[in-house]
């Protein structure tokens, strides 16, 4: 690969994204520049690699390419070097750089944006006979199509305690936060309201009393607004009906939920027919605002973008559920790099095919790989 891009220019460009990460090594023992380790590791992930040995192999296999961009006078880092550095890098600093890059690349949130919050387990990080594995909580913006933040849950905790901490760290004024049934907690609702945002929370049996009241309300009261949609294709027929009730005088809320300022309740009825087999599901939600039926249906459907466009891609394209790396902060740091790689492949330079095919192209086409990494500072 020939490039007229100078090393100093590229490193300055690359440091726009990673320059705020502190080197955890003693300066006298640091044989390889931190930027070399970060860039080689990131390129390896862009090209489908998953292990420390993959990073070392990528460095040797693409040495000519990398020498146009980096000072490799100290050679290629070993797999042990990658392991030690990534496990000791501050996860807080790496995540901070990720947030800064997302903000600079995709812009600020605007009023009305939908933010979905959900957790994901990295299942291969579970040790034999252990009860815990790495569990990350993500914030997904459906309108931008990007992950905004992640937070690792404490081993002795879960999503319920992690979500308020994550919400407090975000600027989400006038946005709508959607969370599945686990997040239907008055403390979480209160934390969203404190950030001057609204919520749309799924209600199930973990809040049995509240769920029973919402369900009963739709039995005795007519919806203030409703909408139905019908979709046909791929051998199936899907219909959805959204109903919204804004007059809640028949609900008897306890003091904790009274403070959560519930303004409306939503019922979504989904029916699916595939090869004459019919299924139907009803789901209920509470809202801190009064959406139209169309708005409620859009946001409920948009919530699943976090599963289909983030979690599914990380597992299928990046094999995240099969990566057992967990020492130190390595699990969190590599998870951030995978998300950055996903967003670059999805929103960066155009290439035909899905994410996996674009990863293959990055591995085989150095010009395309260069175009991708140049977008690190910034899209």
pLDDT digits (tens, 9 = 90+) for 232-241: 877 788 899 9
Question: In DSSP terms, which residues pair with 137 in a beta bridge?
Answer: 119, 151
3-state secondary structure of 271: strand
Mean pLDDT computed over every residue of the chain: 91
Find, among 313, 315, 283, the residue nearest to 299 by Cα.
Answer: 283
Kindly report which listed range (43-47, 59-63, 368-372) carries the lowest average pLDDT score. Answer: 368-372
- Is residue 174 within 8 A of residue 168, CB to CB? The reply is no
Q: How far apart are CA 148 and CA 138, in angstroms?
A: 8
And the tokens for 234? 């791929």
Checking if the pLDDT of 82 tops 50, the result is yes
**Choice among 48-62, 252-266, 318-332 with the minimum mean pLDDT:** 252-266
Question: CB of 58 within 8 A of CB of 41?
Answer: no
Asked if residues 147 and 155 have their Cβ atoms less than 8 Å apart, the reply is no
Across the chain, how many H-helices and E-strands are there? 16, 9
Q: Which of 278, 265, 271 is nearest to 240 (CA)?
A: 271
pLDDT per residue as tens digits for the range 28-54: 888 999 999 999 999 999 999 999 999
Q: What band does 377 get if pLDDT is binned at 50, 70 and 90?
A: low
Instruction: For residues 373-377, give the mean pLDDT.
Output: 79
Q: Average pLDDT, stretch 335-364? A: 93
Residues 68-80: pLDDT tens digits?
889 899 999 999 9
Strand order in the sheet with 264-274: 146-152, 134-141, 114-122, 176-179, 198-203, 277-287, 264-274, 236-245, 225-233
Report whether 165 contacts 139 (CB < 8 A): no
Q: Determine whether 246 is exposed, middle or buried from the number of CB atoms within 10 Å of its CB (0-12, 13-18, 19+).
A: middle
Tokens matching residue 276: 């004459």
Beta bridge partners of 274: 236, 277
133-187: pLDDT as tens digits: 899 999 999 999 999 999 999 876 788 889 999 999 999 999 999 999 999 999 9
Q: Which of 217, 166, 158 is nearest to 191 (CA)?
A: 166
The 10s digit of each residue's pLDDT in 95-117 is: 999 998 998 888 889 999 999 99
Q: Are β-strands 114-122 and 176-179 bridged in parallel, bridged antiparallel, or unpaired? A: parallel
Pick from 200-209, 270-279, 297-306: least confident: 270-279
Q: What is the pLDDT of residue 132?
A: 78
Given a cut of 50, is residue 2 above it in pLDDT?
A: no
Alpha helices in the chain, H assignment, sequence order: 7-18, 34-46, 52-61, 63-67, 79-88, 91-106, 159-168, 186-194, 208-220, 255-258, 293-303, 305, 312-316, 330-347, 355-364, 366-374
Residue 84 has pLDDT above 60, yes or no: yes
pLDDT of residue 1 exceeding 50:
no
- For residue 4, name the pLDDT band (cuts at 50, 70, 90): low
Task: Give me the half-sphere count of Cα atoms (radius 13 Å) on the Cβ side of residue 142.
Answer: 23
Strands 264-274 and 146-152: unpaired
Please provide the size of the chain in residues: 379
The pTM score is 0.91
Phi, psi of 232 (to 5 degrees): -125, 140
| Token output for 148 | 């905004």
pLDDT at 192 over 60: yes
- Which residue in this structure is represented by tokens 């600079």? 104
Residue whose token pair is 């990073």: 55
Q: What is the mean pLDDT of residues 329-357?
A: 93
Q: What is the pLDDT of residues 333-344, one digit of tens each?
A: 999 999 999 999
Report the percent of the chain where pLDDT is more than 70: 96
Return the pLDDT at 5. Answer: 60
Cα atoms in the 13 Å half-sphere on the side-chain side of 167? 30
Residue pair 112/289 in contact (Cβ under 8 Å)? The answer is: no
Please choose, from the candidates 162, 206, 141, the residue with its C-alpha nearest in 3D space to the C-alpha of residue 343. 141
Does 378 have pLDDT greater than 60? no
């Amino acid at each position: 690969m020939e490039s007229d891009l100078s090393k100093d220019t590229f490193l300055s460009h690359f440091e726009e994204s990673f320059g705020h990460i502190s080197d955890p090594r003693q300066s006298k023992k640091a044989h390889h520049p931190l930027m070399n380790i970060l860039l080689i590791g990131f390129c390896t992930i862009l090209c489908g690699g998953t292990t420390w040995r993959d990073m070392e192999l990528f460095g040797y296999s693409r040495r000519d390419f990398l020498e146009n961009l980096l000072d490799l006078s100290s050679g290629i880092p070993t797999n042990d070097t990658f392991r030690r550095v990534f496990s000791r890098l501050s996860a807080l600093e790496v995540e901070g750089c990720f947030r800064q890059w997302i903000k600079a690349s995709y812009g600020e949130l605007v009023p009305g944006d939908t933010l979905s919050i959900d957790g994901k387990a990295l299942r291969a990080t579970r040790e034999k006979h252990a009860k815990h594995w790495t569990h990350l909580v993500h914030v997904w913006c459906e309108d931008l199509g990007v992950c905004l933040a992640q937070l690792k849950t404490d081993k002795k905790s879960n999503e319920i305690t992690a979500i308020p901490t994550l919400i407090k760290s975000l600027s989400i004024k006038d946005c709508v936060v959607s969370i599945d049934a686990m997040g239907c907690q008055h403390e979480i609702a209160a934390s969203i309201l404190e950030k001057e945002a609204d919520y749309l929370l799924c209600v199930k049996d973990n809040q049995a009393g509240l769920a029973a009241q919402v369900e009963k309300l739709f039995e005795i009261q007519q919806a203030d607004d409703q909408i139905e949609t019908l979709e046909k294709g791929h051998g199936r027929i899907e219909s959805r009906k959204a109903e919204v009730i804004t007059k809640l005088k028949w609900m008897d809320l306890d003091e904790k939920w009274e403070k959560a300022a519930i303004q409306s309740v939503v019922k979504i009825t989904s029916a699916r027919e595939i090869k004459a087999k019919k299924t139907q599901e009803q789901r209920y939600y509470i809202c801190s605002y009064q959406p139209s039926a169309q708005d409620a249906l859009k946001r409920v459907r948009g919530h699943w973008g976090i599963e289909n466009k983030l979690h599914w891609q990380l597992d299928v394209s990046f094999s995240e559920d099969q990566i057992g790396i967990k020492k130190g902060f390595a699990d969190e740091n590599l998870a951030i790099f995978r998300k950055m790689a996903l967003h670059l492949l999805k929103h960066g330079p155009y290439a035909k095919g899905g994410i996996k095919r674009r990863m293959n192209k990055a591995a085989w086409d150095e010009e395309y790989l260069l175009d991708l990494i140049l977008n690190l500072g910034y899209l």
